[in-house]
Amino acid sequence: MTGKICLSPDQCPVVNEGLSPSQDEIVWAKEFFAEFARDGGEIRNGSDLPRIARATKILDLARAYGIEVSDFEDEPVHMPAPTDTYHY
């Protein structure tokens, strides 16, 4: 879930906090990309694509909610997943 309707502006901070990624999730995403880059940045098995998608979503949501993801570690540049999922 990425959104909610609030009846009062006072509810927005609580909703944003509840929907934003936790620090643990952000750290996991950053560590995943660092490990993925260390391993050559290539898709090797069936779990890489879903984990890339999850880590990307976590970091994108963090940025959307104004969380500085650079506070956690330098994010490595990663290659986007290939459109051909059978390419390893």
Domain with 29 in it:
11-71
44 or 80: which leads in pLDDT: 44
**For 52-85, how does the pLDDT look when each residue is reduced to its tens digit (9 = 90+)?**
999 999 999 999 888 888 755 554 444 555 555 5
pTM score of the predicted model: 0.70
36 domain residue, yes or no: yes
Q: Name which of 40, 34, 38, 74 is nearest 55 in CA terms.
A: 34
Q: Which residue has the tokens 């009062």?
A: 8
* Structural domain includes residue 64: yes
More confident position, 41 or 77: 41
Number of domains in the chain: 1
What is the Rg, in whole angstroms, of the alpha carbon atoms belonging to the chain? 15
Query: HSE (CB half, 13 Å, CA atoms) of 56?
Result: 12
Looking at the domain assignment, is residue 35 inside a domain? yes
In a domain, residue 5? The reply is no
- Grouping H, G, I as helix, E, B as strand and the rest as coil, residue 64 is helix
Q: Do residues 87 and 47 make contact, with C-beta atoms less than 8 angstroms apart?
A: no
**61 inside domain:** yes
